[in-house]
Chains A and B, each alone.
Chain A
Amino acid sequence: MRETGRRADGRARRGGEGGWGGTDGYVPLQAEVVDIDVESTNTYLLSLRPIDDEDETVEVDYSPGQFLMVSVFGLGECPISIASSPTREPLQICVREAGRITQGMMAARVGDVLGIRGPFGNGFPVADMKDRNVAIAGGGSGFATLRSLINYIADHRDDYREVTVVYGARTPQDLYFTSEYGSWQAADIEVGITVDMMDASWKGNVGLVTSLLSEIDPAPGAAALCGPPMMIRAVAKDLLDRGFIEQEIYISLERHMKCGVGKCEHCTMGPYHVCTDGPIFSYDRVRDLI
């Protein structure tokens, strides 16, 4: 038996420009849960401190839109989007209760460790989006990866022109990151929120993300989308009608994944591996596949 612990190159830095430097094999890095926020009834925001085997903090480089393979030892590993922006500490993942592994993550307490591998995937093309208007549209739990992009843009606000965020959830209780909308507006980002079903306390919009888009009327430019396939198709069509072009509508896709490195074949979508060719695709590449 060879004791690996952390490899030398894993200790210094993980990730890197454009994605995949630093990732080494199937042995994960440990990440200590340092804080837990409750985002909704079934969703927690976990703040993580990646550590080496001497409990020293390891810096993880990533870009908005990338994901981690996160493990609970004994239950397994699954892909989770990074919800934090690389411009801000700490590293955060948004975990929604879906199956055994996510239940295990939500059972973690501050001080417990999870396993992480990655970051994987291509991320949003933040450099290509520079000097463009940016429309960001999310639905449901897909909003976690968009929050990484929104905070990244807020921290590089001068690089982008008009920035619009539209976000829809099932009920007001299902809305994520409600405490941050004010800070986005303060950074000159237009924010529209809508829910499918209102309750007595709700005074905002009710209805689909697309109807909110008509109201806000974002100027054509780049777009970033994540949400249920039905919403993606409807929003993409709406944006195309507004003069956006397919090559600039970037969609973050979700698939079943087991390796994150393009080998296990679970996430194949036509000729693509969503884990390595994506998870962000321009609409022209996946129009007929989603």
Chain B
Amino acid sequence: MTASLLRREGLVPLLRDLAETLEVVAPILVDGSAVFATWRGEEPALKADNPLNSPVEFFLPKREVLFRYVQYSGRYTFAEEPPKARLIFGMRPCDLRALEVLDRLFGADIPDHPYLARRRSTVVVVLNCTTPGERCFCGFLGSGPAAVGGYDLLLTDLGRGYLVEAGSPAGVFILQAHRCHFEEPLPEDHLEKERLLAGAEEELRGRRPALSPEVLKRAIEETDWEVAGSRCLSCGGCSLVCPVCHCFTVIDQGVPDGERLRCRDSCTLAGFSRMTSGANPRPSLGERLRHWYLDKFVYIPEKTGLFGCVGCGRCSRVCLSDVDRWSLLREGPR
């Protein structure tokens, strides 16, 4: 599809134009760390590590109102809020893959309308990873460092500017409507993109040897999860930052009028599967951790054809016990 070149100095003016009609979300520096947040005119932190909060939280928020209920003479009326029109700028290929996994899970059987409505009303602008983060291992899982589709616009940082490629009608529309910010790319720009991404791929390959799904499954079966779980603090942080994790709970707030809320949850928490009777199908930490891995590397692949882990490394970055999730699986607990 169409490609253009965006000069570095053209980035903020382009975002300013886009922000006139859409809420723009971008990686922004807060106290030295990048976070995905509503963009308010600053220089986006595209050179920093992928933010610790995944952009998936703009599709499956930490807390969202499913609907409001209002009681009038013993009967209720319900109201849902339509999602905001949004553009997420600077999402990485791994997080885009996470959205593809969620599309398949949340679109299957009985569709999840709140998620799908947000997906439809959001423009996704992806940034290829030319310099992978320290804990990343996307190369092995096929979810990076380059995006191959599923984006509206795809950026690659070439140094002198960004090569911008459209992957959807919405992307083409943005390139055309805001063409004053773009210029024609040179043929060598495309070659430079390939060279940079090949370098990134090379670096990732040296970092993690590739393992087959069968080897992964065996590794999960052979791991002593009770020992592995002994280091876990059961804080649920890994699930909150994981772009594929989507466990949620539903609670009501307010009588007689109020809101039914959906809040993120984690299968690593002790009470997650506990029934009112007190019976708990996964009472030990080891069993819950084992389930976390089985879901990502066995069950989700069976359902969607894609791994439930995208190699973003956030779980290892956030872990209070400094458990490297990936090493835990490959080598057993240290």
List chain B residues, Cβ under 8 A from A3: 77, 79
Interface string of B233-273 (1 = CB under 8 A from A): 00000000000001111111111101010100101000011
Interface string of B257-294 (1 = CB under 8 A from A): 01010100101000011111101010000000001001
Contact B79 A4 (CB under 8 A): yes
The answer to whether A113 and B75 touch (CB under 8 A), given A261-B109, A266-B273, is yes
- Contacts between chains A and B (CB distance < 8 A), count: 130
Contact B248 A258 (CB under 8 A): yes
A12 at the interface (CB under 8 A from B): no
A112 at the interface (CB under 8 A from B): yes
A21-67, CB < 8 A from B: 23-28, 30, 53, 55
B81 to chain A, nearest CB (A): 6
A127 to chain B, nearest CB (A): 21
Contact A2 B108 (CB under 8 A): no
List chain A residues, Cβ under 8 A from B108: 262
Contact A255 B273 (CB under 8 A): yes
Contact B246 A265 (CB under 8 A): yes
B67 at the interface (CB under 8 A from A): yes
B310 at the interface (CB under 8 A from A): no
| Residue of B74, B106, B250, B291 with most partner-chain A CB within 10 A | B250
Contact A4 B291 (CB under 8 A): no
Contact B113 A25 (CB under 8 A): yes
Q: How far is the CA of A265 from the CA of B256 in the complex (A)?
A: 29
**Which of A5, A112, A254 is the one whose CB lies under 8 Å from B275?**
A254
A16 at the interface (CB under 8 A from B): no
List chain B residues, Cβ under 8 A from A269: 281
Interface string of A69-93 (1 = CB under 8 A from B): 0010111111000000000000000
| Residue of A20, A261, A268 with most partner-chain B CB within 10 A | A268
User: Can you name the residue of chain B whose Cβ is closest to the Cβ of A259?
Assistant: B250
B90 to chain A, nearest CB (A): 28
Interface string of B60-87 (1 = CB under 8 A from A): 0000001111010011111111100000
List chain A residues, Cβ under 8 A from B262: 26
Contact B76 A76 (CB under 8 A): no
Contact A73 B250 (CB under 8 A): no
Q: How far is the CA of A22 from the CA of B87 in the complex (A)?
A: 33
Q: How far is the CA of A258 from the CA of B274 in the complex (A)?
A: 12
Which of B31-39, B295-303, B315-323 lies at the interface? B295-303
B105 at the interface (CB under 8 A from A): yes
List chain B residues, Cβ under 8 A from A53: 75, 77
Q: How far is the CA of A256 from the CA of B248 in the complex (A)?
A: 12
Contact B67 A262 (CB under 8 A): no
Q: How far is the CA of A59 from the CA of B256 in the complex (A)?
A: 27
**Which of A99, A255, A265, A276 is the one whose CB lies under 8 Å from B110?**
A276
List chain B residues, Cβ under 8 A from A30: 75-76
User: Can you name the residue of chain B whose Cβ is closest to the Cβ of A69?
Assistant: B250
**Which of A4, A113, A258 is the one whose CB lies under 8 Å from B67?**
A4
Contact B74 A112 (CB under 8 A): yes
A1 at the interface (CB under 8 A from B): yes
B114 at the interface (CB under 8 A from A): yes
List chain A residues, Cβ under 8 A from B250: 26, 76-77, 258-259, 264
Q: How far is the CA of A261 from the CA of B110 in the complex (A)?
A: 6
**Which of B69, B74, B77, B247 is the one whose CB lies under 8 Å from A265?**
B247
Contact A2 B105 (CB under 8 A): no
The answer to whether A74 and B256 touch (CB under 8 A), given A98-B276, A262-B110, A268-B295, is yes
* Additional pairs, 7, CB under 8 Å, beyond known A73-B255, A99-B276, A261-B109: A1-B81, A26-B260, A27-B67, A73-B258, A74-B253, A264-B248, A270-B299
Could you list 7 A-B pairs, sorted by A, with CB under 8 Å? A26-B250, A77-B250, A99-B276, A255-B281, A263-B112, A265-B246, A266-B272
